[in-house]
């Protein structure tokens, strides 16, 4: 009888040890070795996680662009990206930005979700959230935050396919709170 109880206790202990090893293994796989990287260009400094990388942007006004590394397609284009642009300001800042979105609203592939004033590093800024479709197949959501500095209009633009927008938004939001503007 004592032998059966001892075997039973040892079996339970081994099961608990085995389960503990599995849980530890799963937790170890969940934690990654992400580090923060820094990028400085055009008077802007951003910090971002190492699962994102510097990328090229097609806009002539782009001063820096990063993409989530696992979102880069076969053509080398990041489908989840953050682009920072600097444009010469023509006239009043608010009119300049609002006119940009008025002209976009004439395009049927564009849908404005929300717009309004926000604060970025103690500066007045404008935020626009909208969707756009490319070739009637890929729908992306965008969040743009505009601010004025030194006669220039800056925009930080986050773009991602609809199904990836919310899950990666935290990186853009972090950059907004941590950005250094010189």
Write the DSSP string, 23-68.
HHHHHHHHS----EEEEEETTEEEEEETTEEE---S-TTEEEEEEE
pLDDT score at 3: 56
pTM exceeding the 0.85 threshold for the entire prediction: no
Sheet holding 81-88, edge to edge: 52-54, 62-68, 81-88, 152-161, 138-149, 123-134, 110-120
Question: Residue 28 has which token pair?
Answer: 């170890």
pLDDT in tens, the chain (182 residues): 555 544 554 555 444 334 443 333 333 444 467 899 999 998 899 999 999 998 877 788 999 999 999 998 877 778 999 999 999 998 999 999 998 888 888 888 899 999 999 999 889 999 999 999 977 678 999 999 999 999 999 999 999 999 999 999 999 999 999 999 98
Question: Residue 122 has which token pair?
Answer: 């103690």
pLDDT score at 7: 54
pLDDT score at 40: 94
pLDDT score at 8: 53
Residue with tokens 């199904």: 163
pLDDT score at 100: 87
Q: What is the DSSP string of 70-115?
A: GGB-TTS-BSSEEEEEEEE--S-HHHHHHHHHHHHTTSTTEEEEEE
């Amino acid at each position: 009888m004592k032998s059966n109880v001892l075997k039973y206790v040892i079996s339970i202990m081994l099961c608990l040890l085995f389960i503990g090893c599995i849980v530890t293994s799963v937790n170890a796989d969940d934690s990654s070795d992400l580090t923060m990287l820094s990028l400085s260009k055009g008077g802007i400094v951003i910090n971002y996680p190492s699962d994102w990388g510097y990328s090229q942007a097609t806009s002539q006004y782009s001063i820096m662009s990063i993409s989530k590394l696992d979102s880069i397609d076969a053509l080398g284009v990041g489908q989840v990206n953050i682009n920072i642009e600097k444009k010469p300001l023509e006239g009043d800042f608010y009119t300049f930005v609002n006119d940009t979105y008025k002209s976009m609203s004439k395009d049927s592939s564009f849908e404005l979700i929300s717009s309004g004033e926000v604060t970025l590093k103690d500066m007045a800024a404008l935020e626009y959230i909208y969707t756009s479709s490319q070739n009637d197949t890929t729908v992306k959501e965008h969040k743009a935050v505009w601010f004025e500095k030194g006669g220039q209009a800056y925009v930080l633009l986050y773009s991602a396919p609809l199904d990836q927008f919310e899950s990666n938004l935290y990186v853009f939001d972090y950059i907004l709170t941590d950005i250094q503007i010189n």
